[in-house]
Amino acid sequence: MKLFGRRREDQEDPGLRLAAERGRILVEESREAVIVLDSQERVLAASRRARDLYPDLARGAAVPGALRQGSEIAVSYEVGDRAETLLYLRDPADMAAYEELRAGFTASVSHELRTPLARLLALLEGAALPGADKDALIEQSQGEVNQIRELIDDVLFLSELETGREVVALGATRALPILREVAEGFAENAGRADVTIRVEGNEDAEVPLRPRMIRVIVRNLAENALRYAGPGSTLTLSAQDGVLQASDDGIGVAEVDLPRLFERFYRADRARASRGTGLGLAIVKHIVNSAGGTVEAASGEGAGLTIRCLFTTP
C-alpha cells in the first residue's frame, strides 16, 4: 500500500520531500498498528504492522467499524486544509493475553479474599454463641479485617503502578536513611518475630527512585523476612550505589520455589498459613522493573534468602 502521494510543489522542494519521506518511514516502520484516515474516515495509509494484522485494509476504503471501535488511541490533526486522524489499533493477540491475565488476576484476588472473609464470618458467628469470649473474638475479627484491608491496598497500589499513575523514578535518593527509618518502624514486629534487623551500607549511596518507592520496596522486603525467615534469624538491609539488598540467615527457600518467588499470590508450601497478601515481592519486582532495574533472589534450604534490587546509575 502506498502511504503518501506527492504534490507537485513537494517534488520541487527537497525539504518537503525529506519531511514526506520521513513521515512515510515513521508510519510504515512503526511497531504499532497505525492507520491514517481522511475526514471521511477512509484509509489513506497504514503501517506494515496494521496491514499484517488486518489484510483486508484497502486505500480509499472506509475503515471497518469494528476496528474504529477497537482502537486504543485516535489522534486528530490538520495537514494544510485537510483533516486527518491517526488511529492506533490493538493487537488481537495482545488483547487475548491481557484478558487471560485479567481473568486470572481477578480469580486470584477473589480466592485470597475468600479465606479471611470465611474466618471473619466464623468468628462473628462464634461471638453470638452463649458464653463466648466476645472480647477475644472481636480482637481476632479485627485482625481479619486488617488482612482484607492490606490485600485491597496492595491490589490498588499494584494497579496504580501498572496503569502508570504512580511515578516510580524521579531523580536519585539517598537510600540509607530510609532503610534506618523502615528498620526502626519494624522494631516491635521484629521483636515479636524474634528477628534482628541490621542496616548497613554506603552513607551516600543513591538509587534512582522516589523516596516513597524505596520505602515501599524495603518495607515489603522486611515484612517478607519477618514472616518467613524464622525465629532467631538476622535480617540485614543494605544500600550501595544502585543496589538495595535484603539478606537473612533464616530457613531459606527451596530451589523449586525460587523462580516463582516474585509471582503474584505465590507462596511456598511452608508459607501458605501466613497472613501475608502474597503481593509484596510482586510489588517489589514491578517497582524495580519500572525504574529500569532488575531483581534477583538467591537461597537454599537452611541457607537464608538474599534479594537484590539492581539499578542502572548514571
Closest CA to 197 of 167, 224, 171, 164: 224
pLDDT for position 216 = 85
DSSP 196-261: EEEEEE-TT-EESS-HHHHHHHHHHHHHHHHHHS-TT-EEEEEEETTEEEEEE-SS---TTTGGGT
pLDDT for position 271 = 45
pLDDT for position 1 = 41
- Give Cβ neighbours of residue 123 (< 8 Å, ≥ 6 apart): 137, 140, 141, 144
- Give Cβ neighbours of residue 208 (< 8 Å, ≥ 6 apart): 169, 171, 172, 242, 291, 292, 293, 311, 312, 313, 314
pLDDT for position 206 = 92
For the chain, domains (ranges, CATH) are 8-90 (3.30.450.20), 93-162 (1.10.287.130), 173-310 (3.30.565.10)
pTM for this predicted structure: 0.53
Closest CA to 313 of 154, 233, 202: 202
DSSP H helical segments within the chain, as ranges? 8-12, 14-28, 48-53, 65-69, 92-127, 134-162, 176-185, 187-193, 211-228, 280-290
pLDDT for position 10 = 46
pLDDT for position 236 = 95
Between CA 69 and CA 299 the distance in angstroms is: 49
Q: Residue 295 in contact with residue 285, Cβ under 8 Å?
A: yes
What is residue 30's three-state secondary structure? coil
Backbone phi, then psi, for 228, in 5-degree steps? -120, -15
Between CA 114 and CA 120 the distance in angstroms is: 10
Cell 539517598: give the residue.
174
pLDDT for position 295 = 92
pLDDT for position 134 = 84
Between CA 65 and CA 71 the distance in angstroms is: 10
Q: What is the pLDDT along the chain (314 residues), one digit of tens a residue?
A: 444 444 444 455 676 677 777 777 777 777 677 888 888 888 888 888 878 877 777 788 887 666 655 555 777 888 777 888 877 776 655 555 445 545 555 555 565 667 778 888 888 888 888 888 888 888 888 877 876 776 676 666 666 666 555 556 667 889 999 999 999 989 998 999 999 999 999 999 998 888 888 888 998 899 989 988 899 999 999 999 999 999 999 988 888 878 788 876 665 544 444 555 567 788 888 888 888 889 999 886 677 899 999 997 65
Distances (CA, A) of 215 to 38, 185, 223, 266: 50, 11, 12, 23
Q: Quote the DSSP letter at residue 42.
A: B
Closest CA to 285 of 168, 173, 187, 142: 168
